[in-house]
Structure 1
């Protein structure tokens, strides 16, 4: 009990502490790094509809939200508040069957407030033709750096249309981590070289579905086919666990201790190993390896021998990745726990 209290105390006191260095057991390290599960927020408690009128529907007393795309429109919603740092997640089930050109997005942004200097953290789910798997893309933009862009794309070890899977974004003062089903898939650490391009202004949480025919599937080769409409994405277990900003003063409403908790969520050794395995197996595009777009890699990119796995376009060389994804689709993920 005493050692467990020590772990929690260290997490609260310093955002830089690595609990594994404190001499605690592996079990205690994993417990300290486990993702939070705050109470889910109902739609009416925490969100507002952006567009789509009847293409947004509530179920389960507002705890589940369905948004759909048809020939008329897509749909979307956003959190009522903006947040400065925190942990944000949802369980999402994606449209089944033919979904080429369809984009489902779960992301944070402040583009409505900072038009030319906005920040953004994206999960974008890119549909595909029937029989081909969905892709997941993550983006990180800071201070309007959309002309730079830090996109990565990945395959999945499961079929995201058959059941709900949890997607989460941890945004702290010094790093950003994207998670799928408890497994971290990407970490962006704040460095001096990133400067103002590290997201640092309050952001709201968004979820949308829309027609991305011009680029989403094979660079726009396959378009949305509305014969298969409506394309329905369902969201549940919507969690907002961050420092909300006062709408008048723009000041955080949380206490310093609450802010430190998000900063102190250290990734355990087991989680980091799971992230490395995932990236090795399933990454299909990495901006750090895109030598056509960035002849000189961006400052945060540490290019090693793994660069040989990628073409000059940043795309993965191995065509087995898609076959490996299919073979693992019904198996368990490389879990971090």
Structure 2
């Protein structure tokens, strides 16, 4: 299908949620895809049994027949998850993911790196968390990072998706190097955190494993807990395939990769096309954040009267947000929750205010 035909199909009157978004966003995404799709074409994937193992809910971790993917189920008895076989200090972590369909309020699907099982009080973490959905509303998700146990200094950003993530697979990726962190959806960078001296230990720096989980987060995930999981729609299934990790495995006790071979791998990682936010990618990221980011901790003056050191404050962008860090249609922070032992402060939101 040629690009023009594809674009015309996107403009047909439908009830699909992304039609409510700006035409300019769609144009920039199409332009971006048409020009830079080589960056993610050469990713080396790892069969599930070769690089991962069940984390919990073993009966709900269902491997694909070809061995290249897995389905995670949530039912009224258990959620499920998997973990990488190795830990890595810096790397590229990526998977094509399809989220559960139909009514999914209260469900959290997470794709993240962490070392909380090894460094319980000083853990690092990088998150994609998808926050469930109710009929007629766009899917919402958040990215977050923690360094050295800084759970009281959560760095959440929240967004809407410009597509329905339950209809087809999309690639979600986390690049983590000694100098920066980039979150990608397909080939669109949606967030970059650049390391600086002022961040200190808040910048994740210890070896981490890759995790994926699905679990019941009824008390906070969708509209701040207003809508919980309805198990008459169970099982809820999230699919993961084409899993990829580029990096060098590391001993968490030594905390540094060892040997010349690891140095070569990390140099190769830094040289990858996706390791740099080019001017074209930066434009796409800016468009995404202008149109679809609705909360940023950098503008949340209630939590952070002085923005954390990695924040780059844009005066024109600041005008769009309330003192809570949310866009000017409501929201607050008033709830605490736990995900398998990790405490954080999510953003409470009211869907009806959008």
| Bin for the TM-score computed over the shorter chain | 0.7 to 0.9
Instruction: Give distance in 1, aligned partners of 2:110 and 2:151.
Output: 17
Q: Classify 1:297/1:247 alpha carbon distance in 2 versus 1 (closer, same or farther; 3 Å).
A: closer
Cα offset for 1:252? 2.1
Residue number among 267, 270, 289 corresponding to 1:279 in the alignment:
289
Residue number among 294, 300, 305 corresponding to 1:290 in the alignment:
300
Instruction: Give distance in 2, aligned partners of 1:248 and 1:276.
Output: 39
Partner of 2:66: 61
Partner of 2:328: 317
CA RMSD of aligned residues (A): 2.3
SS at match of 1:159: coil
Instruction: Give distance in 1, aligned partners of 2:253 and 2:149.
Output: 24
Equivalent runs, 1:99-110 vs 2, <5 Å: 99-110=104-115
- 1:257 matched to 2:264? The reply is yes
Partner of 1:228: 233
SS at match of 1:106: strand
Instruction: Give distance in 2, aligned partners of 1:192 and 1:247.
Output: 23
SS at match of 1:193: helix
SS at match of 2:198: coil
SS at match of 2:109: strand
SS at match of 2:319: helix
Cα offset for 1:251? 5.0
Cα offset for 1:34? 2.5
Cα offset for 1:281? 0.5
Partner of 1:14: none
What is the number of equivalent residue pairs in this alignment? Answer: 294
Q: Classify 1:275/1:53 alpha carbon distance in 2 versus 1 (closer, same or farther; 3 Å).
A: same
Cα offset for 1:180? 0.1
Name whichever of 187-196 and 60-69 sits farther off. Answer: 60-69
User: What per-residue deviation string (whole Å, max 9, x for no partner) do you get for residues 225-257 of structure 1?
Assistant: 111111100000000111111478665254322
Instruction: Give distance in 2, aligned partners of 1:301 and 1:247.
Output: 29
User: What per-residue deviation string (whole Å, max 9, x for no partner) do you get for residues 50-100 of structure 1?
Assistant: 111211101132212000111100000000000011111000000011111
Cα offset for 1:302? 2.5
Cα offset for 1:296? 2.2
Which segments of structure 1 move beyond 6 Å, counting only runs of 4 or more? 30-33
Instruction: Give distance in 2, aligned partners of 1:142 and 1:128.
Output: 29
Instruction: Give distance in 1, aligned partners of 2:38 and 2:318.
Output: 30
Q: Classify 1:208/1:290 alpha carbon distance in 2 versus 1 (closer, same or farther; 3 Å).
A: same
SS at match of 1:166: strand
Partner of 1:44: 49
Cα offset for 1:312? 1.7
- 1:238 matched to 2:243? The reply is yes
- 1:155 matched to 2:155? The reply is no
SS at match of 1:108: strand
SS at match of 1:275: helix
Q: Classify 1:247/1:309 alpha carbon distance in 2 versus 1 (closer, same or farther; 3 Å).
A: closer
TM-score by length of 2: 0.78
- Which blocks of at least 5 consecutive residues in structure 2 are unaligned? 1-34, 331-350
Instruction: Give distance in 2, aligned partners of 1:290 and 1:250.
Output: 33
Q: Classify 1:131/1:154 alpha carbon distance in 2 versus 1 (closer, same or farther; 3 Å).
A: same
Q: Is the 8 A contact 2:89 2:256 kept in 1?
A: no
Q: Is the 8 A contact 1:33 1:268 kept in 2?
A: no
- Which blocks of at least 5 consecutive residues in structure 1 are unaligned? 1-29, 324-337
Instruction: Give distance in 2, aligned partners of 1:266 and 1:250.
Output: 25
Cα offset for 1:311? 1.6
SS at match of 1:194: helix
